[in-house]
Amino acid sequence: MIKFLDLHAQYQSIKADIDLAIASVIRETAFVGGSYAQTFENQFAALIGANHCVGVGNGTDAIEIAIEALGLPRGSEIIVPGNSFIASSEAVTRSGHKVVFADVDEDSYVLTADDVRAKLSDKTSAIIAVHLYGHPCDMDSLVDLAKEKGLKIIEDCAQAHLAECRGRRVGSLGDIATFSFYPGKNLGAYGDAGAITTNNEALALKARKIANHGRVAKYDHEFEGRNSRLDGIQAAILSAKLPHLDSWTETRIQIADYYLDALKGIQGLLLPVRQPWAKQAYHLFVVRTEQRNALKEYLAQKGIETGIHYPIALPKLAAYEYLGQGCESLFVNRSDSLLLSLPIGEHLSLQEAGVVADAVRSFFGTCVS
Ligand SMILES: *Cc1c(COP(=O)(O)O)cnc(C)c1O
């Protein structure tokens, strides 16, 4: 059995640290916010290379709060890539803006400046740059375009902890950035958690107030905010995991490099392309084939779990029927039936990756070398 995700195995490998972290928070009853949340925020900001980090309840809230903190004109349009998890676009609508879906690059599956250009209007106020599957967007060209057009950039880094664009870590390359620590993410809590990072002090402060009832002191509320705070147990768990993130990411890259080599040259199978300027965090390793469903079934029969990210492109979801963007002839609208995510993660050995690669090759009738 080759699992897609194995959170229990990860826990076993760092059990003493996790148990100690949880016990410490309980002992100090630092359940919401508090010293553990603050410590994690400082550690994470330093790791990402951002001046500020604000812990919040989850990655979806993080996007919503980030948009709100930017104070964009109400009802303005925000450009979102058509292939992502719904959180990327949901947050746009919920914060009172209009979603405009853009296409993505066919090699690396992320939004490019050209994709954004194709969707610009005089109502466009911002771009959600989703570093999907852990591949960074080309932030240099997005930032140039944003400057030229007066747009804000929100980086959605939910799948891209430690990914780099030309040697710089994602999370401080736009105006504001958001992270998810959902358990299955590359850095995952034991429940919901998220964070906002930015180099802009005023934005960080605004985001912190929004996430904590608009308050400046205990019962002194400057405006109506909401409740979306990082809880202490999650923060302590994240701090305990942080020292391992680099090596877990390196393992993901090794497995991806192995797949890229072992699966090359197969007729009918397209591999993801990592741009030469990118360090990809490989939250997912997504291949493309016309025989997606048959391959998925074949691998399942061999005990190999796979996933689909995402089976229905965002513009085609029932939730977005009202926008009428589902029938546009975009790559995202026609590629969703071809995508298959192979197992990748720190739980996988290179030998297991070999078993996966052999099974894929045998499906396509290519000799196992
Ligand atoms: C997981 C994810 C989110 C949402 O994060 P949650 O913590 O689950 O709310 C947002 N964007 C992307 C691209 C994601 O993968």
Task: With beta carbons less than 8 A apart as the criterion, state whether 321 and 331 touch.
Answer: no
| C-alpha dihedral sign at 180, 184, 188, 190 | positive
Ligand 1 pocket residue status of 84, Cβ below 6 Å: yes
Ligand 1 pocket residue status of 159, Cβ below 6 Å: yes
Q: Is the pLDDT of residue 220 over 90?
A: yes
Ligand 1 pocket residue status of 85, Cβ below 6 Å: yes
Confidence of residue 347 (pLDDT cuts 50, 70, 90): very high
Chain segment 171-207, per-residue pLDDT in tens: 999 999 999 999 999 999 999 999 999 999 999 999 9
Chain segment 31-74, per-residue pLDDT in tens: 998 999 999 999 999 999 999 999 999 999 999 999 999 999 99
Ligand 1 pocket residue status of 36, Cβ below 6 Å: no
Phi-psi region of 57 (alpha: psi -120 to 50; beta: other; left: phi over 0): alpha
Give the Cα separation of 283 and 4 in Å (integer): 11
**Beta carbons within 10 angstroms of residue 121's beta carbon:** 10
Task: Give buried/exposed letters for 315-352 (b at 16+ CB in 10 A, else e).
Answer: bbeeebeebebbeeebbbbebbebbbbbbbbbbbeeeb
Q: Is the pLDDT of residue 366 over 80?
A: no
Residues near 288 by Cβ (< 8 Å), separated by ≥ 6? 269, 270, 335, 338, 339, 340
Q: For residue 130, which atom of ligand 1 is closest to its CA? A: 13
Confidence of residue 76 (pLDDT cuts 50, 70, 90): very high
Confidence of residue 367 (pLDDT cuts 50, 70, 90): low
Q: How far is the CA of 20 from the centre of ligand 1 (A)?
A: 28
Q: How far is the CA of 58 from the centre of ligand 1 (A)?
A: 8
Give the Cα separation of 36 and 52 in Å (integer): 16
Confidence of residue 216 (pLDDT cuts 50, 70, 90): confident
Beta-bridge partners for 329: none
Structure confidence at residue 368 (pLDDT): 53
Ligand 1 pocket residue status of 190, Cβ below 6 Å: no
Q: For residue 63, which atom of ligand 1 is closest to its CA? A: 10
Q: For residue 192, which atom of ligand 1 is closest to its CA? A: 7
Task: Give the 3-state DSSP-derived string for 298-336, with helices as H, strands as E and coil as C.
Answer: HHHHCCECCECCCCCCHHHCHHHHHHCCCCCCCHHHHHC
Q: How far is the CA of 59 from the centre of ligand 1 (A)?
A: 5
Chain segment 275-325, per-residue pLDDT in tens: 999 999 999 999 999 999 999 999 999 999 999 999 999 999 999 999 999
- Ligand 1, atom 7: closest residue by C-alpha: 59
Q: For residue 61, which atom of ligand 1 is closest to its CA? A: 9
CB-count exposure of residue 368 (10 Å: 0-12, 13-18, 19+): exposed
Q: For residue 193, which atom of ligand 1 is closest to its CA? A: 7
The one-letter amino acid code at 60 reads T
Active site residues: 185
Q: For residue 185, which atom of ligand 1 is closest to its CA? A: 1
Task: With beta carbons less than 8 A apart as the criterion, state whether 111 and 142 touch.
Answer: yes
If you average pLDDT over every residue of the chain, what do you get? 97
The phi, psi pair for 167, rounded to 5°, reads 80, 0
Pick from 242, 230, 166, 151: which is nearest to 192 by CA? Answer: 230
Q: How far is the CA of 158 from the centre of ligand 1 (A)?
A: 5
Mutate to test the pocket of ligand 1, among 56, 58, 60 (most ligand atoms within 8 A of CB): 60
Chain segment 96-150, per-residue pLDDT in tens: 999 999 999 999 999 999 999 999 999 999 999 999 999 999 999 999 999 999 9
Residues near 221 by Cβ (< 8 Å), separated by ≥ 6? 213, 214, 215
Ligand 1 pocket residue status of 228, Cβ below 6 Å: no
Q: How far is the CA of 281 from the centre of ligand 1 (A)?
A: 15
The phi, psi pair for 154, rounded to 5°, reads -105, 120
Ligand 1 pocket residue status of 280, Cβ below 6 Å: no
Structure confidence at residue 323 (pLDDT): 96
Ligand 1 pocket residue status of 194, Cβ below 6 Å: yes
Structure confidence at residue 94 (pLDDT): 96
Q: Is the pLDDT of residue 369 over 70?
A: no
Q: How far is the CA of 266 from the centre of ligand 1 (A)?
A: 32
Mutate to test the pocket of ligand 1, among 156, 157, 161 (most ligand atoms within 8 A of CB): 156
